[in-house]
A and B are shown apart, each in its own frame.
Chain A
């Protein structure tokens, strides 16, 4: 297990290194750069070229990459071409909002999906199963923006219970929990279904497996049977799905951020791309990709513990 963890961790480092190259090359391929955006349309070509020289954009790609990578390793993400401030500031502002939203969603999602998955799995085919499955499936099939607008129309406009937007909350959003209710509800509606279906399928498989039957015959009481004997096996597909969900949530769900005007990563990324603010785009993309890698690393390690038999494959 330790060996596997070390090897898998080593690969993650390699992945991150490759990612940094890919991210740099891709952002380099973007048409236009900050120099072209900074000026209005009347700017002459020589003015643009002069600015480009000032910003160091005319140097060869390899040189710029070396600079950038060196900065990354020393913790310096560069300077935003638009605001002039450090990129890490932009990153910190946008990531905290998204991370808070994702954390709240995950905190509710995991227990909810596990309970729904277990209940529907243990009573597969029953009325409860059919009703719950129908509801979760319907919620998944409704597009985010439709659901978001419906919720806003009902709870904000008609009933006036909840705020419909983060505009005006500025940096004090963390003091106003009511801001979270609607975005989290929309995010949950999409993710609970997928995750609970995975756990339901896993539960069904392990419910009929010989080890569950034998544990019951050895007098393991029902609740303990489900939590200690069944769930570890049933959770395997769910853990991988959870990593994908977490990744998706942290990457910022653009639709939700746009509807509720959440100042999160997706909004920041779109803004940075529009401004050709290359250092910000690079830093944001790399951070999100790194988070995705780490989440999948965690999921792989957990799955490995839950399904240790995989070591004999191949």
Chain B
């Protein structure tokens, strides 16, 4: 079939640096094409060039043609490039939380996009119809309550669906998804795979940018491999990315094996309940008990919207509408603004989308080092020296250190945020989906650092993550959350080998994407879970 997207000799230069070197690729309708490569290989630069867009200071040249319209020509983006945006090619960015307007209701934005791009969408009922259809396709309920919600009233995984609905409501002929499986639990990822396959079946050309090889194997017919701005291989996915037999993350030396439940409790939360809105309305956690022993690692898993992040925020003292006891080495922990500097230092929190937490006017390393100055009273010189050491262990170069947040990728910032927390030398480290933007090499650097911390400093780690492989690698204990309650808990091996709840079984079943995707459709159980209003 005639390809929707044709790219030939696409080159992107920033000053003297070459970001893309004569990249060529085609995306045909009715199938998923994957663009695979490590962080910083130029995937996003190439994808944005399909919209005729580039970062400031980046010059594009070459030839990009989308459904017959020239978007990039030899002398840069073409005049007609804006006309393809949305209508012909719709792009979904990596971190949907930043891509949703906090002041606009979900339904109103969807209807607006439909009116702009859909034939006959100018009429109100037609636009509302398109909006409802897009919500359903993206896996969200299309009732009035959902349409009237603001982005902050959705959970992280649901926000991704809202962003997907925005893309779909434009009725594009090609969809470009940048790392769509970032931060999704196994169940949601399985659904996503199903959705991508269905989109392709509807005749849409899908370009999938991902370092998630399992997802690519499950959905993509063709794969283009990129490295350092060049296309290194192109062909059928089955040939380029053969299924690997072994666990892909080589296990570091197994952590200290504290006896299950043993060790002094570093962080202990008892009967924690939390609400989203004042007056105890919008309950998100109910009687949750979590215990992290010294030098231990407790993992929290659960489907998206189950309250994992709210739990982390309660423990970090950021979510104040909660009830129950949180203690650090037996001493009660108040909310963050009442914590002493010692308590702040004791519990450090690293979260998923960290870009907004960096100041654009100072270099990243300076901000990372600042933790040690503020919380440990080190001199700025000494702090910077130590920051640099952690920095390098996490696989970041000294060149990254002098840069500002805006010029670092999501994965680089995520590691910088981890370094920032580590410089406090905390007794408890709370990690909320901190590997979502990382490729395998960087993920390994992070897990090794965490193991080192537990062995070397006896740091207790609360690990929230959707990646069960990492959970198996890191955690001693496991807590499974669903709809704000603990449905399964105990020794990690015991829980995973003999799960007591349906949620755990479902998470385990859907972990093997390749096998499960063949079986295809999401279960009704999952639909119910995702459809439940978050607040």
Interface residues of A (CB under 8 A from B): 3, 209-221, 224, 228-229, 232-233, 305-309, 311-312, 314
Contacts and interface: CB of A to CB of B under 8 A. Distances in A.
Nearest to B91: A217
A307 B51 CA distance: 30
A306 B113 contact: no
Given A210-B93, A213-B93, A224-B116, 15 more contacts: A214-B100, A215-B101, A217-B51, A217-B53, A218-B86, A218-B170, A219-B116, A219-B117, A228-B104, A232-B104, A233-B101, A308-B103, A311-B152, A311-B277, A312-B152
19 contacts: A211-B98, A211-B100, A214-B100, A216-B85, A217-B85, A218-B86, A219-B117, A224-B116, A229-B101, A232-B103, A232-B104, A233-B102, A306-B103, A307-B103, A308-B150, A308-B152, A309-B102, A311-B277, A312-B276
Contacts of A219: 82-87, 113, 116-117, 170
A219 B51 CA distance: 10
Most chain B CB within 10 A, of A210, A216, A228, A307, is at: A210
A232 B101 CA distance: 9
A2 to B, nearest CB: 12
Interface string B31-56: 00000000000000000000101000
Interface secondary structure of A, over-half rule:
helix
A213 B51 CA distance: 12
Contacts of A229: 101, 104
A141 to B, nearest CB: 27
A228 B152 contact: no
Interface in B255-282: 276-279
B166 interface: yes
Nearest to B103: A232
A211 B85 contact: no
Interface string B460-494: 00000000000000000000000000000000000
Contacts of B279: 3
Contacts of B51: 217
A306 B86 CA distance: 25
Given A210-B98, A211-B98, A211-B99, A314 B152 contact: no
Interface string B93-115: 10101111111100000001100
Contact of B99 (A210, A224, A311, A312): A210
A6 to B, nearest CB: 12
A220 B86 contact: yes
Contact of A217 (B83, B86, B98, B320): B86
B321 interface: yes
A314 B321 contact: yes
A309 B102 CA distance: 7
Contacts of B116: 219-221, 224
Contacts of A3: 279
B184 interface: no
Q: Among the interface residues A213, A309, A312, which one has the most CB atoms of the partner chain B within 10 A?
A: A312
Contacts of B321: 314
Interface string B132-151: 00000000000000000010
B112 A228 contact: yes
Contacts of B99: 210-211, 213-214
A307 B100 CA distance: 13
B427 interface: no
Contact of A218 (B97, B152, B166, B320): B166
Contacts of B422: none
Given A219-B116, A220-B113, A214 B93 contact: yes
Nearest to A220: B116
B167 interface: yes
A211 B53 contact: no
B90 interface: yes
B102 A308 contact: yes
A68 B93 CA distance: 63
Interface string B316-327: 000011000000
A218 B101 contact: no
A303 B409 CA distance: 33
Interface string B59-90: 00000000000000000000000111111001
B98 A209 contact: yes
Contacts of B97: 210
A306 B166 CA distance: 20
Rank and list the top 4 A-B pairs by shortest CB-CB distance, nearest first.
A219-B86, A210-B98, A219-B85, A214-B99
Contacts of B102: 211, 233, 307-309
B402 to A, nearest CB: 22
A227 to B, nearest CB: 11
Contact of A309 (B87, B150, B163): B150
A213 B93 CA distance: 10
Nearest to A218: B86
Contacts of A213: 93, 99
A212 B279 CA distance: 34
Contacts of A212: 101
A204 B202 CA distance: 40
A209 B87 CA distance: 22
Contacts of B86: 217-220
A229 B87 CA distance: 18
Contacts of B90: 217-218
B113 A211 contact: no
A209 B97 CA distance: 11
A217 B176 CA distance: 11
| A211, A217, A314: most-surrounded residue (chain B CB, <10 A) | A217
Contacts of B112: 220, 224, 228
A253 B128 CA distance: 49
A306 to B, nearest CB: 5
B145 to A, nearest CB: 14
Contacts of A309: 102, 150, 152
A176 B90 CA distance: 57
Of the candidates A211, A220, A314, the one having the most CB atoms from chain B within 10 angstroms of its own CB is A211
B472 to A, nearest CB: 33
